[in-house]
């Protein structure tokens, strides 16, 4: 029924009684997210990164030294996507996430368009949900683009069919791709946690730049705090604590303990961030 009606609807801007169909609002939000050139550029840049790493690795043949996992990557292409995710989730992915979250509420606020949304026949919780879905989609796209580019580059440039795990076992292509997908999913949940907090900040301010500064600055502060042995007790509540555990998917059997702890922690952050964003939006005056 709704679908039929929406086709003969008058153009947007005309008030209607009753809420707008949810999927339509989501679609329009996704359209906005994907139409922004900066977002597309970010996706393109992220896609290039694994290609760059893979090419440098094959050309220089620098296996045996360098950061963790680097040694495991020689001739073992499917390590590349996991390595790329590990490298980007520290700063680049949070940056992209914060950028989209900043546009979502603070950006609208800065342009004065948030007012229109608050007056529109969309509930406040719905509004936050739609914005969160927009941010989440961008995260999934970003992580997906890195993973896909990593897998393709790994298989074509670095080489190797299947995956030699860190434990020395050899996985055939299917399960190996499963491991990569697992890493990607885990990474996406971590980024969703960053996105939820960024969204909460975004709801509280009207300066998009502030959202990025707070989000990325917060992650850097976590990194600094981790370096102090005296602040060991803070570690369990810091989002970044288990981020390096993403390489645990490359063990056989998977070393699941830290991954699960990290997952639980990220879910807590998502709950906090989303709730805070909702609370702020619900109490906002139009």
CA 229 – CA 162 distance, rounded (Å): 40
Interface mask (CB under 8 A) for other proteins, residues 55-94, using x and -?
---------x---xx-xx-xx-------------------
| Exposed/middle/buried for residue 76 (C-beta within 10 Å: 0-12, 13-18, 19+) | buried
Which helix (H) or strand (E) segment holds residue 181: the answer is helix 173-204
Q: Which is nearer to other proteins, 72 or 211 (CB)?
A: 72
Q: Which is nearer to other proteins, 17 or 65 (CB)?
A: 65
Residue range at the interface with other proteins (CB under 8 A); choices 13-21, 136-144, 219-227, 277-285: 277-285
Residue 66, phi-psi category: left (phi > 0), alpha (psi -120 to 50), beta (remainder): left
Residue range at the interface with other proteins (CB under 8 A); choices 19-27, 82-90, 138-146, 165-173: 165-173
Any idea how long the chain is?
Answer: 286
Residue range at the interface with other proteins (CB under 8 A); choices 4-12, 110-118, 150-158, 278-286: 278-286
Is there binding between residue 221 and other proteins (CB under 8 A)? no
Residue range at the interface with other proteins (CB under 8 A); choices 7-15, 50-58, 167-175, 205-213: 167-175
Backbone angles phi, psi at 170, to 5 degrees: -110, 125
* Cβ-Cβ contacts under 8 Å for 257 (sequence gap 6 or more): none
Q: Which is nearer to other proteins, 209 or 271 (CB)?
A: 271
Interface mask (CB under 8 A) for other proteins, residues 111-130, using x and -?
-------------xx-----
Burial readout 132-163 (b: 16 or more C-beta within 10 A, e: otherwise): bbbbbbbbebbbbbbbebbbbbbbebbebebb
* Residues contacting other proteins: total by CB under 8 A: 38
Six token digits for residue 251:
């063990």
CA 112 – CA 101 distance, rounded (Å): 16
In three-state secondary structure terms, 170 is strand
Q: Which of 16, 52, 169, 224 binds other proteins (CB under 8 A)?
A: 169
Binding site for other proteins (CB under 8 A): 64, 68-69, 71-72, 74-75, 124-125, 164, 166-170, 233, 236-237, 251, 253, 255, 257, 261, 264-265, 267-272, 274-276, 278-279, 282-283
């Amino acid at each position: 029924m709704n679908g039929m009606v929406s086709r003969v609807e008058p153009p947007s801007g005309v008030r209607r009684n009753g809420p707008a169909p949810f999927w339509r609002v989501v679609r329009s939000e996704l359209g906005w997210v994907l139409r922004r050139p900066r977002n597309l550029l970010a996706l393109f840049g992220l896609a290039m990164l694994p290609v760059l790493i893979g090419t440098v690795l094959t050309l220089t043949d620098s296996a045996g030294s360098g950061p963790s996992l680097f040694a495991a990557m020689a001739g073992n292409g499917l390590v590349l996507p996991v390595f790329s995710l590990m490298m980007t989730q520290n700063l680049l992915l949070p940056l992209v996430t914060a950028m989209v979250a900043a546009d979502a509420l603070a950006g609208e606020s800065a342009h004065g368009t948030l007012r229109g949304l608050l007056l529109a026949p969309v509930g406040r919780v719905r509004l936050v949900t739609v914005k969160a879905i927009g941010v989440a989609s961008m995260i999934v796209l970003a992580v997906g683009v890195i993973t896909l580019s990593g897998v393709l580059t790994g298989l074509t440039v670095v080489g190797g069919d299947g995956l030699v795990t860190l434990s020395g076992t050899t996985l055939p292509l299917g399960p190996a791709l499963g491991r990569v997908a697992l890493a990607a999913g885990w990474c996406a949940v971590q980024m969703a946690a960053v996105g939820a907090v960024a969204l909460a900040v975004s709801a509280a301010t009207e300066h998009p730049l502030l959202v990025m500064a707070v989000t990325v600055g917060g992650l850097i502060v976590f990194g600094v705090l981790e370096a102090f042995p005296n602040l060991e007790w803070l570690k369990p509540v810091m989002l970044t604590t288990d981020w390096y555990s993403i390489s645990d998917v490359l063990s056989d059997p998977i070393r699941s303990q830290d991954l699960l702890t990290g997952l639980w922690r990220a879910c807590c952050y998502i709950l906090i961030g989303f709730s805070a964003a909702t609370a702020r939006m619900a109490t906002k005056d139009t």
